[in-house]
Chain A
Amino acid sequence: MIEFNQGLAVKKYGESIYSQIRRLIITNPLSRSKATSAFLKGWKFTYCNGNPKYMYPGDKKFTGDDLKELLITQLEPVVSSQKVYLYGSARKNPVCEYTSPLKNCPNCSKAIYHNTLFQFKWAKRCPLHGEELVTKCPECDRPWPSLSQLLDRDCPGCGVRYSTEELSANGAFDTDEYDKTFQPYQLVIDGYIEVGNVLMIGARNYQRDEYGSYGLQNINSPEFPSLVAAFSPDAKNMLEKVTSIDNVYRVHKFKHAGTEAKFSYNSEQQKHDRVWAQEIFSKVDLEIRVLMSYTNDAHHRHHMLHSYSETDCPYCLAYSVWNHLSRAKITESPEEGINPKFGKDLWRFNDVLEWSPEGASPHFYLSNTKFQMQWEREHDRNAPRVDVPLHISKRIYRLLLWKSFENICLFLLHRARLTNFLPTGYTS
C-alpha cells in the first residue's frame, strides 16, 4: 500500500482541492511527487488555457488494488468535505472550482489554505484576516500557481517549501481559528445545494433552465449574499465580512416561529410569491404522483386526482393530507391564486407526527382533524385481497403511510435545514 502523510496537523475546515493538494506536497517532503500523483491519479480534468478547469472522478479510480486501498483509506477522509463539489456534474452544479482565476488571501496562502468561498465572484475579502482576495501573490507578483506549477514554485507566499517553524509563524497550525471562521460559510454553501431552489426562486434574475422548471440561480451570482442576508441578521453580519450586502431584499414576518419567509421584491411581489409557492407545491405533488404511479392500484391510474379521499391507500391519504395542508388545488388555474395561509399550515407539520400508540390503527391529528385508516369498512372486507394476515398488512400499510409522509417531510426538512444556520428573527 502506498503511504504518505495527509498533513492533518495543517488540515483546516472547508479547504478546497487546490489547498488539499498543496497541503499534501508540503507535508510529504520525502515523497512530494508520489503523494501528488497518487492523489491526482483518481481525478479527470478538463483544461482551460492550460489550467485545470473541472475535476471529475477519473476512470482510473478503481483500476488497481493499491490505488483502491489508497483511495478508501487515505483519500476518502481528505476529500469527503469536498464531496458535494467533486461528485456533482460541473454543468448542473455551478459550484465548481477553477471556473475563474484563482483568488486567495495572501495570509491564508502562507498558512496553506484556500477555500472554495474565495472563488465566488462576490467574495472580496477574507473573513479571517480581512485581507482583499487577490489573483496574484504579493510576494512574487505572479499569479497563484496552478496545480502543475505548484511543485516548482519556490516563493514564501505561494510556494511549497516551508520549514515547520515558518508554517508555525504563518499560523498554519492554528486550525481552530480557521475552522471557527469558515464553518458558517461552508454551511451556507452546503445549504444552498439543498435549498437553492426555494431560496433563489424569489430573486430578480431567476431563470428557466433547460428542463423547463424554475431553476437555480447561480450561487456565484452577486445577488446570493444579499438574498441570504435578507433571512437573518447573523448571516448578514457574517457575509458582510466577505462582501458588500445590498439591502434591496425583504422578507415578511409571519406569526408562527419557523414559518417560511416569502420574498417581496418591489412591484413584482405577487408574481414571485405565486411562482415560489407553486414551485413548492409542484414538487411535492410530483413526488406523491410518482409514488402513486409505482403502485398497481387501478384508482391511481384512472382516477389519480379524484380518488384520494375514497380509499385507504396511504399514498392517496398522503395526497389528501397534502391538499389539506396546502389548501391549494394544483390542478386549478393559476389565476385563482394561492391561499395566503399555506405557509402557516405548511409549517405546522409537526402536528402530523403525533402518531397513535402502538397497537391502535394508524392515525394522526392535524388541525383538530383525525385521519385514520378505516380497517373495518364493509367494502374493504369484501374486496379481493392478497392473503396476508391482518396484523402484517396493518404494518405494511403503516409503513407505506410513513413512507408517504417521509417524502413530504423530507422536502420540508430540506427547507427547515435553512433555519439551522439562519435563525428566526426575520426583519419585516
Chain B
Amino acid sequence: MDANTESLVDPLERLSHEELHPLLQPAKLTISTPMMDGLCQRVSRWVHAGIPGAAIVGNPRIGKTTAVESIQSSFKTRTGEPIPGFLVNIAPRDRKTIAGIYKNICYAVGQEPKKTATADDMAAHLVYFFGDQAASNSSRNVLLFVDEFQRLEVSQLSAFSELFDKCSLTNTTLTTVFVGNLAESQSLLNTLENSRYQHIKGRFFCHLAEYSGIRTANELKKCLIAFENTILKGIGDVDSALGKDISGPFRSGWHLTDIHAQIWDTYTENFQKPLRLDSWAMQYFTSAMGIMILDYLPKYGHKEDVDSIIYESIKASGLVPSVITMH
C-alpha cells in the first residue's frame, strides 16, 4: 500500500480497530475494588455451603452489575475447580410469564429457543445445559446470576425454583444469585413474606447481602490504586497527546494515593454529609477520577490547589444531580 492509498483509509474504520483507552470509554472502565473482592468471598461462601440461592441488593449506579460481570467466571470449588457462571439480565416485558423467563435465560446462555418452544421444553433444555456445564467440576456446581430481579413478578420466581429442583434431580447444584436495586425490590421482598411464597423465600431469599460503593478511606485508597493501575496499563503510546496527558503527573513519581486523604475529606465534607450518602457509587467515583486525570491535572497540575480540583471533579461527575429529588 503506498502513501496515497494509506491516507484514504477511513479514519473511523481505523479508529475502530484501535484499542481505545479505558478513560475514553467510561462505561467500560472496570476496576477491581475491595467491595468486589468482598462480594466474591460472600458468594463463594454461599456456593461452598450449597445454598440454593441468595440476593444482593444495593443502590443504583453503585456497580452491582459491573461487579457481577467481573466476578461471574472467577468462582472455584473448595478443591480449586472452576464453577461456570452465567448472568441473566431480566428484561422488562409487558407480559410477565414463566416462559418469558426461560426464554430470557436461554438467550443469555446462548441456547436460542425456537418460536414454538414450550416452557417445558425450555426448562428441560436448560436443565441439561446446566448439567453439561456442571461437569467441569466434581462438585457439579453452576452459578446463575439474575440481574435486575426487581423486574420479576413473584410468580416468575417459580421458574428458578423449578430449575433448581430439576437440576437437583440431575445431581447438579444450581445456585441462583439475584441482583437488584434496594429500593425497587422492596415491594417484591415484602410480598415474599407472605406464607404462600415461603417455598420461594426459603430457597432464594433467606440470604441477603448489601452491595455498596466506597464507604471508608481505606476502601478509597485501594480503589485509587486499582484505578491508577488500570489507566496506566491502558496507555498504548505514551508519547501520544493522550498518553502524555494521562501519564504526565505520574512521571515524577506522584500517585493518586498521595492525595487520597484530600479526596476523602473533600468527598465527606462537601458531598457525603450534605447529601446523606451511604457510599460513593463506583460510577461517580470513576467518572470523577477520569475528569480529574483528563481535564484538570493536565491543565492545573497536581501541586497547587488540589482540593479545588478534587471538588470540581466530583461535582462534574454527576454525583450531585443524581440525588436531587424533583418536586
List chain A positions with a Cβ less than 8 A from chain B: 3, 5-10, 27-31, 163-165, 167-168, 173
Contacts and interface: CB of A to CB of B under 8 A. Distances in A.
Given A30-B106, A163-B124, A7 B169 contact: no
Contact of B128 (A3, A5, A165, A168): A5
Contacts of B132: 5-9
B111 A3 contact: yes
A31 B129 CA distance: 12
22 contacts: A3-B111, A5-B125, A5-B129, A6-B132, A8-B135, A9-B132, A9-B135, A9-B170, A28-B128, A29-B117, A29-B120, A29-B122, A30-B106, A30-B114, A30-B117, A30-B122, A30-B125, A31-B125, A164-B124, A164-B127, A164-B169, A168-B170
Interface string B116-143: 0100111011011101101100000000
Contacts of A10: 131, 170
B44 to A, nearest CB: 24
A8 B125 contact: no
Nearest to B114: A30
Nearest to A164: B166
B249 interface: no
Contacts of B114: 30-31
Interface string B155-190: 000000000001001111000000000000000000
A69 B3 CA distance: 40
A9 to B, nearest CB: 3
Chain B contact surface mostly: helix
B113 interface: yes
B110 interface: yes
Contacts of B120: 29, 163
Contacts of B122: 29-30
Contact of A9 (B110, B112, B121, B172): B172
Contacts of B113: 30
Contacts of A167: 169
A29 B125 contact: yes
Contacts of B112: 30
Nearest to A173: B170
A3 B111 CA distance: 7
A29 B123 CA distance: 9
A235 to B, nearest CB: 31
A3 B170 CA distance: 20
Contacts of A163: 120, 124
Contacts of A5: 125, 128-129, 131-132
Given A5-B132, A7-B132, A168 B124 contact: no
Contacts of A6: 132
A351 B170 CA distance: 51
Contacts of B166: 164-165
A108 to B, nearest CB: 18
B135 to A, nearest CB: 4
A28 B131 CA distance: 12
B169 A30 contact: no
B233 to A, nearest CB: 31
B131 A7 contact: yes
Interface in B237-278: none
Q: Which 3 A-B pairs have the closest CB atoms?
A: A9-B131, A27-B128, A9-B170
Contacts of A29: 117, 120-122, 124-125
Contacts of B129: 5
Contacts of B170: 9-10, 164, 168, 173
A7 B171 contact: no
Given A29-B124, A165-B166, 10 more contacts: A9-B127, A27-B128, A29-B122, A30-B112, A30-B114, A30-B125, A31-B125, A163-B120, A164-B170, A173-B170
Contacts of B172: 9
B169 A165 contact: yes
B86 to A, nearest CB: 14
Contacts of A173: 169-171
